[in-house]
Structure 1
Amino acid sequence: MEMRKTLLLLTGLCCVSVCGSQRHYVLIRSPKSWAAARIFCRENFTDLASFADMEEMQGALAAVQGRDGQEVWIGLSKGSTLRWHWSLTGRDLYGEGEENHFIWGTVTDNNCVTFKDGKLHMRSCEDPRGGVCFDGTKQGADRYVLIPQQTKWMAAQNFCREHHTDLTSLRNHAEYQTVEGVSKGQDVYVGLSRDPWEWSDQTESSLRFWRPTQTVNTAYAEKCVALLSGESGHWRDMDCTVERPFLCSYTMKDLHFIKVKVRVQDATLDLNDPTVQESLLEQMKTELRKTTGGHFQLRWRTGSDGKAFTKQSRDNPGSV
């Protein structure tokens, strides 16, 4: 039977709601390797999950709620080029040129950075040193807090994130001067480090949320990254071939609501039959392609009884 002869679709008023460009996250519980997970996410959503800041990380943690102790693939993998980035992230933190306002003193092949005498110095991430935190809840010079204890770079970062906001950035000349006053001539860690990690969707985000035991030295790290749902969302490197659940992301810029009325010409037809529902989706996709260019996703939303459709009563003509 040809479904097109059995069903008549009438599209009504289409209204558009702008939802912003924030990312949304979906947990796929069926385990896959990192590469297979990326293919699935690209085919069905946008890509494996990426995060611009800790606010988006909270959205990811909400998606994996209840999966304590489980490793979940995200869209970070090891590339071949080391890039400098600040630990402190945020959409409005950096003005033009401020992310690369580097005034170098000591240049080596090390991956972490200290500040002393108005300049940046490449140091080993394992050397015990003090540091300077940034506290976004305070104002003026009070936002810059000296860590007196000697720690490794990763431990300094974790301390700042736990007690303040993060290790400080040095975005402009004024901040260089402020941090110089706070550090009192000491050689202190700041939030600059470099690594080869890259996001699958080419996001330029510098956000890193490694577990405390992770090292910045990536020479011996595995090539893919998973989120640890039982450790406040901290990340770890893993063998890419291991099969794990994974997080996909998608961005809704313009969400179109389309009112559709379905008239059944055959009373024996079951709208909850998967074959019938697939035919309905194909017909709706055909209509939507005429106005959207084909960039959309459709799926049935079911109720608590597992059904997408409920029969409309003549006495109570509610929505189908």
Structure 2
Amino acid sequence: MCFFLLSLLLFSLSGSKTQAPKRTLVEVRHYSSFVVWEAAQKHCRKYHTDLITLRTEKDNQRFIHAQGWIGLFRENATGQWKWSHGDETANYYAWEKDEPKKNNFCAFTRPNSEEWWSDPCGTTHTFTCYEEKLVLVRENKTWEEALAHCRSLRDTNDPPNRNSLYDLASLITNDDHITARQKAQEATTDEVWTGLRFLAGHWWWVDREPMLYKDIESCPAERSCGVIEKTGTANFTTRDCRERRNFLCYKRV
């Protein structure tokens, strides 16, 4: 039988189980106002993360309801196409036939279409912003230190009447795992901590989201916690919680 000493840091796991709230690691919002690309970018950066980024075919399919301006742009007719967030060079494209046009430097999408079009950046379109709730912390900490760090985070952009709360990341859906592995590529360690922990004979996500893995070890070694690998394909791997590595926090409120 496995036995674990309940950590004070995880005391919030005790008590009766409540229905886990619906949540996502990436939120997307479409604005119906027609504005030029730069105005759309400023609005998204002020109230969200940025204009939406579609790095891969899977992203393009996930966010097929995005429409209007997206974050893709270039400086001139011979410049590289980049994403607004971080000036990241684009490696994936989904241009409509005969696109992009030579003198068009900004990209947009149409409703329920996976194809992209180009337009002069001074043209007006509606636009889609995204808010990335996942935060990679490039500090090497034990799992419990990582948990404490995440729960101490606050969003300096919060309005006065809002106090965002953070936690170690729970990865529930396939999209969650895709997003987390993309984010982990920026880590300085080969694996990053997630919010998965074996405690009192059960596997838990720290925010009490349901643990859906079917092939996870039922009675692991003492102090087992979950990681996601940068280069692997498995949804989870378990490690000794006392090891030190980067970790993923997410904004849950």
The answer, yes or no, to whether TM exceeds 0.5 is: no
Question: Which structure carries more relative contact order (alpha carbon 8 Å, separation 6+)?
Answer: 1
**TM-score (structure 1 length as normaliser):** 0.32
Rg: which structure is higher? 1
